[in-house]
A = this chain, B = another copy of it.
Amino acid sequence: MTTQDEYFLREAIALAKRGMEANEGGPFGALVVRDGQIIGRGNNRVTSTNDPTAHAEVVAIRAACAALDSFQLTDCTIYSSCEPCPMCLGAIYWARPARLVYACSREDAAAIDFDDDFIYREIPLPAEERSIPTEQALREEGRVVFRAWRDKTDRQDY
């Protein structure tokens, strides 16, 4: 942790506060930094945009990727006011930044009634033990498309 890290993490916390006060959503903020520059900002906007995926990190990642014209956040650091929930952590893995820095923990989020910790406990469970009823079917029909992807000569990997 450098003083620059602390500066950016405080900025993520400030975004959380501002978004909450503006009634845009929950008390969460995030930003994406590359070469010492903020290239994407986000705060939770779930309730104001009716988008359950509009968490701070997802909003910041989408903004940063738009700014870079890239679906990868190579060499970037993501600062978040709270430990990312599994959805956001998954988004971070797909964006492939170099590093993640956060302030509050998932337990802090659980203490103000957010489901982060609950979802962390659900994700590793076998599908049949999760709280959302889940079924698998037509696997062979689905795999036909996967094989077509594998054999596609002009596919763009990601």
Q: Which residues on A are within 8 Å of B, measured CB to CB?
A: 1, 5-6, 9-10, 13, 16-17, 20, 23, 25-27, 46-47, 50-53, 55, 58, 61-62, 65-66, 68-73, 81-83, 85-105, 108-109, 111-113, 115, 118-120, 122-124, 127, 132-139, 141-143, 145-150, 152, 154-158
12 intermolecular pairs with C-beta atoms under 8 Å apart: A20-B155, A26-B158, A51-B62, A52-B73, A52-B158, A81-B145, A86-B86, A86-B123, A87-B89, A89-B123, A101-B134, A102-B136
Task: Report the minimum CB–CB distance from A123 to chain B (whole Å).
Answer: 6
Residue of B nearest to A25 (CB): B158
For the complex formed by this chain, how many copies does it contain in all? 2
Q: Return the contact of A46 from the options B81, B123, B154, B158 (Cβ within 8 A).
A: B158
Q: Return the contact of A90 from the options B10, B71, B88, B101 (Cβ within 8 A).
A: B88
Compute how far the CA of A10 lies from the CA of B141 in the bound complex, rounded to whole angstroms: 8
